């Protein structure tokens, strides 16, 4: 099992460019999450999904869109990148059910917007 | 909403015991997590408390008091590899979301 993987690992964008971050998990988890982590701010939830075809807004959704067309993949899109979106992005997944509480994190994508 | 407070930094000596505190204000939650995060890496799960009391797992223990809005992570027999950021997070709501504190950066010295 690869667990949770993220593509790409690093990226530099110019202001106004667009890009898509891919998160993939091979654990058949229902729930998937996108977070951003900035110095001194901790991890903040951007968007999440409770199953294939569903998405919902988290704490900081502005400037991002997501899609969950396949259960194993959760895509995060930036339509017009801004310097404020420079951050480390983590994806996580979780099994459905009350006894399955742990979120498993991917290795992160380091994005710089100039 | 939810508000979580942790000390920003702590320093401890190899072989010692350190306690990292987390206080929170929330209208309701299912449980409280502790994650460890080494620099440049993803967070990894340490512990989860649902009920009040102490959960022990090897060198790591975590305590929760719902009535006091307080949790702590206790690390015993500190090792250099324990130098990392320790994140407190509340687990709540539809979608089983996590709300993280800003983390405590622990430095273990000789």
The tens digit of pLDDT for each residue in B11-49 reads 999 999 999 999 999 888 889 999 999 999 999 999 999
The tens digit of pLDDT for each residue in A30-80 reads 999 999 999 878 899 999 999 999 999 999 999 999 999 999 999 999 999
Q: B80 — phi, psi (to 5°)? A: -60, -35
* Spatial contact of A52 and A29, defined as CB atoms under 8 Å apart: no
* Chain A residues with beta carbon closer than 8 angstroms to that of B8: 40
Given a cut of 90, whether residue A88 has pLDDT beyond it is yes
* Spatial contact of A67 and A54, defined as CB atoms under 8 Å apart: no
* Spatial contact of A111 and A86, defined as CB atoms under 8 Å apart: yes
- Note whether A50 contacts B91, CB cutoff 8 Å: no
Q: Which residues contact B20 (CB under 8 A, 6 or more apart)?
A: B6, B7, B10, B72, B73, B74, B75, B86, B88, B104, B106
pLDDT at residue B2 in the model: 80
Q: How confident is the model at residue A96 (pLDDT cuts 50, 70, 90)?
A: confident
**Closest residue to B31, CB basis, from A41, A101, A106:** A101
Looking up tokens 């900081």 gives: A60
The tens digit of pLDDT for each residue in B46-59 reads 999 999 999 999 99
pLDDT at residue B12 in the model: 97
How many percent of chain A have pLDDT more than 70? Answer: 98
CA distance A89 to B52: 33
What is the nearest CA distance from B101 to chain A, expressed in angstroms? 6
Q: Which residues contact A45 (CB under 8 A, 6 or more apart)?
A: A33, A34, A35, A58, A59, A60, B97, B98, B99
Neighbouring C-alpha atoms within 13 Å toward the C-beta of B11? 2
The tens digit of pLDDT for each residue in B61-100 reads 999 999 999 999 999 999 999 999 999 999 887 778 899 9
pLDDT at residue A98 in the model: 66
Q: How confident is the model at residue A97 (pLDDT cuts 50, 70, 90)?
A: confident
CA distance B60 to B106: 14
CA distance B81 to A94: 27
How many percent of chain A have pLDDT more than 90? Answer: 89
In this complex, is the C-beta atom of B102 within 8 Å of any C-beta atom belonging to chain A? yes
**Closest residue to A56, CB basis, from B42, B89, B95:** B95
């Amino acid at each position: 099992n690869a667990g949770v993987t993220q593509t790409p690992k690093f990226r530099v964008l110019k202001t106004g460019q667009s890009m898509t971050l891919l998160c993939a998990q091979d654990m058949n988890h229902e729930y998937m999450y996108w977070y951003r982590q900035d110095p001194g701010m901790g991890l903040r939830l951007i968007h999440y999904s409770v199953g294939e075809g569903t998405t919902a807004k988290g704490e900081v959704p502005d400037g991002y869109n997501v899609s969950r067309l396949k259960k194993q993949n959760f895509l995060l899109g930036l339509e017009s990148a801004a310097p404020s979106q420079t951050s480390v992005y983590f994806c996580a997944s979780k099994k459905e059910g009350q006894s399955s509480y742990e979120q498993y994190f991917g290795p992160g994508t380091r994005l710089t917007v100039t | 909403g939810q508000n979580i407070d942790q000390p920003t930094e702590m320093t401890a000596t190899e072989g010692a015991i350190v306690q990292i505190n987390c206080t929170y204000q929330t209208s309701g939650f299912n449980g409280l997590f502790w994650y460890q995060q080494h620099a440049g890496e993803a967070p990894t799960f340490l512990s989860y408390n649902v009920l009040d009391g102490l959960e022990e797992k090897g060198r790591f223990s975590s305590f929760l008091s719902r009535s006091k809005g307080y949790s702590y992570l206790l690390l015993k027999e500190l090792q250099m590899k324990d130098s990392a950021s320790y994140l407190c997070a509340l687990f709540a709501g539809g979608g089983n979301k996590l709300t993280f504190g800003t983390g405590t950066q622990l430095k273990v010295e000789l």
